[in-house]
Amino acid sequence: MVQRLLSIISITILIFCFFSFVPGALAYADTSAIYKYDISGKLLSKELPYGLIEYYYYDKNGNLIKKNRLPRGTESFESGTWEASNFTLFQKDGREAGVRQDGSPSGSYLVYANGNRQWEWDVYLRSDRQKLRLEPNTTYTVSFSYKALSAPGNGGSYYFFVRTDKAGTEDRGWLTWNDSPGSVNSKSVTFTTGPYDDYQMYWGLRYGGSIAIDNIQVSKVSNRLRVATPNMISTN
């Protein structure tokens, strides 16, 4: 009888452990979830345990039509505003840019920019260093998805870089690319910051073109005790 009772207790403990530690085994009974709502009260996102965040999409009548899970730390602009984002629009007269819906049934949001082909360098998006601080002497990997909408002019490109205002044009992680209109793809760049505490990430257009950016993810790779050299910076 005692042996049978011990067996039942052991099985009960195993079941409890399974539902406590296996992601998805419970309907997110963990109370650490963080909820975000829009001004009308609709749920925009829910930060889940196990490093995930769930986004909610609605039609024009406010009906939920889609849910999407992404790794926590991914900026997908689903709030539809800059205020709830870790990024800001770089204002410039004569250039169209902002957060807008992509026209899909789900009504997903993204960053859109349409540049002037007369402008050689045109930054339209940058990280907000008050919300997203890049630490000194630290290696990061930044990835993002994009859709090429129209090609830049002759000699132009889409581009990304990281800069500190405290060291002039001492830039890191330069990445330039071109793609045919309509192409959907992603990019990733790894860079190491120097000794400064004000680094920001920038996205831009060289000689115009238009592009949509979404799902930006910033991951810390390691800390460095020395200033990065060109050999420590890789792009793809």
Average pLDDT, the chain: 79
**Per-residue pLDDT tens digits for 177-231:** 999 999 999 999 999 999 999 999 999 999 999 999 999 999 888 664 444 333 3
Q: Hey, what are 222's tokens?
A: 């390691």
Residue 104 has pLDDT above 50, yes or no: yes
Q: Hey, what are 1's tokens?
A: 């009888």
Of residues 212 and 64, which shows the higher confidence score? 212
**Confidence band, pLDDT 50/70/90 cuts, at residue 50:** low
**Does 77-236 carry CATH code 2.60.120.260?**
yes
* Beta strand segments in the chain, E: 34-37, 43-48, 52-58, 64-71, 74-75, 87-89, 96-101, 109-115, 122-127, 138-150, 157-163, 171-177, 184-192, 200-206, 209-223, 234-235
**Per-residue pLDDT tens digits for 139-155:** 999 999 999 999 999 99
**Confidence band, pLDDT 50/70/90 cuts, at residue 39:** confident
Of 206, 222, 213, 135, the closest CA to residue 174 belongs to 206
Q: Hey, what are 212's tokens?
A: 């949509």
Q: What does pTM read for this prediction?
A: 0.69
Positions of CATH 2.60.120.260 in the chain: 77-236
